Every structure is written in structure tokens, then in C-alpha cells.
Structure 1
Amino acid sequence: MSHQEPVARRMYDLIEPIGLVPYLVDGSDDDLMALGLRNQWDAYFAGRAAPFGRSMPAEVVHAVFYNFAPGEVARHLPRVWELTTPEAALAARERGCATALRRTLGDLADGPGVVRAGDLLLRAATSAPVEGRALFAALRALPVPEEPVARLWHAATLLREHRGDGHTVALVAEGVGGTECHVLHALSADMPAAEFGRVHHLPAAQLAAVIDGMRARGLVGDDGRLTAEGRATKGRVEALTDRLAEAPYNALTAGELDGMVADLEPISAAIKAVLPW
């Protein structure tokens, strides 16, 4: 069946909180850190890059992840594989995220909604094409957890990375680079780029050069805000991202989608309540 474009946006709103568990829910990376990693960014790259295995060069991971400044990935990969293995990182990530998610959901974790939502999300995710979606394809090759909470998290992660790979396609199509996309996002929310979490740590001259390049292309005005073209570019990126994220949900009937939304709403709300914003 074919769904209206808002389905992908609605599902993003519900799935994204589950996908953020490894990065923003307290304790989710405890098992990864117990492997001997040096800091939380080690845990980030070990957990997220582990589906590619030990031999994937940092330059390739940088290309796939897309939105890190030059050199950031190489500070952690392949160094983390001197401290642990991709197999151990995958197991620790799943274990830690399932524990953190179970703790966050409380009684919901043992309810039938987790099982139903996880099964439908998994069916949607595994129906999606992998062509052009490197990280999604790597995750698809992993075993699916049997435990319901871990299964829910795994399915949500598959769909999050499927959407993320499509988002990269949309950014490339609009000529928006990896650091530029953070500036575009920050300025679209009327936040100075220098205060945005993913780029505020960059040297001032480096960030200024990125903004100057966007200004030269008419995306940023002399006042430091997005121009009309900058906002239109952001709108086109989001619209194409939604269109490219639609395919998985074509595997579900309208009734299944409605039921899945009903099951995900309290789950998503419980996670949002503990996120740091």
C-alpha cells in the first residue's frame, strides 16, 4: 500500500527517542565503557561503527556518518579496536541499551505493546531496500534479539539508520556538507551555530569559515541568520528525507500502522521524559 508523506515524519517523532537511547539515556553506555574504553565518544564510535567490523578505515566511517568534522572519527577509530572487539562492542551496546530502556519504561517494558510494536517495526525495517544505505545494510546483517525490549530497540535503530542514510542522500543532493548541516539545523532554530552542541567545540576560525562559505552561497545572511534560500534548502532536505524514509511503512496496513502508533506513543513519551532537553 502507499502512505501519505506525513507517515514517515510521524514515525520519526515516535521512533527517534528510542534510537537516542544509546546517546542520551543515563547508563546506556555503561556496558560499553566497562570494556575499557577511554570516554563516551569512544563508546559512541565503538557501538555505532561495530557493524562494519574491525577493518573499516576511519575515512570510510567518516564518509558514512557524514556529519563529523574532519579528523573526529580518526581520533577514536581504529584505536577502540585495540581496547575491545566489534563483537564485544555490539553485545555490550545491546545489553546496555536494553537495560536502560527497560529501566526508563518501567511497567511498560513488560506490557504487550512492546512486543507488538517491536514486531511491526522489525517487519517494516526488514522490508526496506538496502541499496545506497551502508549503515542500514550493516545493521540488517546482525542477528535480531529475541528479548522484547532489546528487539524493540534494535528495530527502532534499524529504522533510524535507514532514515539517517536517506538524510545523508538529501544533504548531498543539496550540496550541504557534514559540518554545514549542523549550522543549517542550528540557524533554522534561531540558535547561533557557536552554541550548537555538535559544532560549538570547533575552533572559532574553522566554524567561521564554514559559515562564510554558506554565506557566499546565499544560505546565510550578513546578520548571521538563514536567508530565505537557506530556509528553503532546509525544507527541501527534510522533505526528501521524509520521502526516502517512507518505504519501510509500505509493508504495513493502515490498521497495523494505527495500532503501532498507539503502542509507541506511551513508550516514546516515557523516553522523552528523561531526555536532557
Structure 2
Amino acid sequence: MTRTARRMFELLEPICLVTFLSDECNDELAALGHRTYWDGYFASRAAPLGRVPAEVVHAAFYNFADGEVARHIPSAWETIPPEASVAARQRGSAASLRRILGDELAGSPGLVRAADLTTQAAMLAPTVGRMMFAGMRTLPVPTDPVARLWHSATMLREHRGDGHIAALLSAGIDGTEAHVLSAIDMGIHPPESFGRVHHLPEPRLAAVMAGLRSRGLVDAGGHFTDAGRETKQRIETVTDELAAPPYEALSAAELDELIAALEPITARLVATGSQ
């Protein structure tokens, strides 16, 4: 099932990326009154958890530097109810998918079937130990097929993300270190230039790199050592293993059907960079 989990990640991730890369979602959140992209991001993604403090959101999201969440939560909810941010996120994401896919794909029987099977997998997966996934599971499932596909794909993304955090914790890798390892894996050099961490204070980044070097994961040039490469691969393998349970709820025939239905949808999204 780990191979299936990896394949489903490849197929579903471009569906989820419209939320972060396309204009419609940001426009919907801005229209509510969110002042910046990150206000809307934190308010809408964290909203299923309820009006929790920044410390809880920081723990659930895991990979943001100290203080980043607190710049947006709870202030982003002071005048805009969390429920409104969730609804805007869904509207904008579904609108992006419809635009990118066009009438033919967005209205196809294959998309409807993909939405149904993705929802089935997400709704039958266990929530224990899955904070973000459990939060998403409390939201109503949309009746519109395009919105339902996005919603269920995003549920499964959060399910995988919760498992990824568990894998990082078990490997002793914190959120900032995880970004550095991902940057190295993607061939970004120096890894400190990666967009998710480059804005951090230089002393903080220097300390992160020094820590990774002292543990034998990164060499003096900012590249993987053998141990670092093995650690990164082990994290990905454990993540795939922990992401498998939703797909165990589907039969082999249903999985084949789901993959076949998603492939043309994902291909269109990948061709546009999900924008």
C-alpha cells in the first residue's frame, strides 16, 4: 500500500495546490477582509480546529518558525469568523479547479467518480493522532462534485501531513530542519536560500545548518551526507506507510478506477502548474 499512497499523493497534490497558487482563493479571502496572503492562509487552514491559540496552530502546522503563526492568529479571526474563512477557501479553490479543468473535465463523469471515491477513502480513514485531518473531517462534505473533489483531496493531504509530522518527530527533525532537508533534496543550493526559510534571521539559519552538520546529516558544502540522504528517504518511506490507511478502505478495482479517473485531471493541473 505504500506505493499506492505515494501514487495518490502525486495525483491529489496538484488538486490541493490551487488553494495556494491560484488567484481565486486569495481573492475570496481578501474580499472577506484578510489583509495579507498569510492572514488568509492561517485563518482558513486552521479554522477547522476552532478558535485555538497560536501555540496550538503552531504545534499542528509544525513547520513554521517560532513566532510566525502568532503574527496572524488569533488576530485574523478578530473580525472574520473562522467559518467564513473556511467557506471562502472552498469557494475559491473550487473556482480555480473549474477554470483550469474547463467544462469538459469539470463536468465529466470521471471527475464525479473521482470525487466520490476520494471522499469514500477520506471518510473511512481513522482520525486518531491526526489533528488537522480530524479537523477537516468535522466540515460538511460539499455536494458539488468539483468542490467535493477538492475538499476530499485536501482532507487526505492533511491526513498525510499529520503522518509526515509523526515521521519527522520520530527522526528528530524539526520544522525548519525539514525545510532545509527538502531544499537539499530538490537541488536548491545553498539550502538556506529556499523560499520557506530564506527570510529567517541569519543566526537562526546558521544554527540550523550547524546542527544538521553536527549530526552528520549535511556536509560542509550544504549537501547531504550518506546519513542525511538515508534519513530523508526513511522519513518519506514512513510518511507513505502512514498515508496508506485511507486507501485500504477501497477495493483494488476501486483504486484502479480512482487512479484512472484522476490521471487526466491531474495532467491538466500539472500542465498549468495548478495556477
TM range (shorter): over 0.9
Distance 1:8 1:119 in 2: 18
Q: 1:77 aligns with which of 73, 77, 102?
A: 73
Distance 1:28 1:268 in 2: 19
Structure 1 partner of 2:62: 66
Written as runs of structure 1 = structure 2, the 5 A alignment for 1:175-190 is 175-190=172-187
Structure 1 partner of 2:9: 12
Distance 2:126 2:171 in 1: 23
Give the deviation of 1:135 after TM superposition.
Answer: 0.5
Amino acid of the structure 1 residue aligned with 2:230 = A
Identity %: 59
Give the deviation of 1:275 after TM superposition.
Answer: 1.8
What is the RMSD computed on CA atoms of the aligned residues?
A: 1.2
Q: Is the 8 A contact 2:2 2:243 kept in 1?
A: no
**1:164-184 CA distance string (max 9 Å, x none):** 000000000000001000001
Q: 1:264 aligns with which of 243, 262, 265?
A: 262
Amino acid of the structure 1 residue aligned with 2:2 = E
Structure 1 partner of 2:241: 243
Structure 1 partner of 2:228: 230
Distance 1:22 1:123 in 2: 22
Aligned partner of residue 23 in structure 2, secondary structure: coil
Q: 1:160 aligns with which of 146, 157, 176?
A: 157
Q: Does 2:111 correspond to 1:114? A: yes
Distance 1:260 1:90 in 2: 27
Distance 2:213 2:192 in 1: 15
Distance 1:99 1:222 in 2: 46
Q: Is the 8 A contact 2:191 2:222 kept in 1?
A: no
Q: How many residues align structurally?
A: 273
Structure 2 partner of 1:100: 96
Distance 1:223 1:97 in 2: 40
Give the deviation of 1:194 after TM superposition.
Answer: 2.2
Distance 1:94 1:26 in 2: 13
Aligned partner of residue 28 in structure 1, secondary structure: helix
Structure 1 partner of 2:140: 143
TM-score when scaled to structure 2?
Answer: 0.97
Aligned partner of residue 24 in structure 2, secondary structure: coil
Amino acid of the structure 1 residue aligned with 2:93 = C
Q: Is the 8 A contact 1:29 1:97 kept in 2?
A: no
Amino acid of the structure 2 residue aligned with 1:208 = A
Amino acid of the structure 2 residue aligned with 1:71 = G
**1:155-213 CA distance string (max 9 Å, x none):** 10010000000000000000000100000111122212222111111122211111111
Distance 2:154 2:108 in 1: 20
For structure 2, list consecutive stretches of 5 or more residues without a partner in the other structure: none
**1:190-237 CA distance string (max 9 Å, x none):** 212222111111122211111111111111111211111000000000
Amino acid of the structure 2 residue aligned with 1:130 = T
Distance 1:113 1:104 in 2: 16
Distance 2:94 2:137 in 1: 18
Amino acid of the structure 2 residue aligned with 1:126 = M
Structure 1 partner of 2:192: 194
Q: 2:216 aligns with which of 215, 218, 225?
A: 218
TM-score when scaled to structure 1?
Answer: 0.96
Q: Is the 8 A contact 1:25 1:274 kept in 2?
A: no
Structure 1 partner of 2:31: 34
Distance 1:48 1:178 in 2: 18
Give the deviation of 1:265 after TM superposition.
Answer: 0.7
Structure 2 partner of 1:89: 85
Q: Is the 8 A contact 1:163 1:245 kept in 2?
A: yes
Give the deviation of 1:276 after TM superposition.
Answer: 7.2
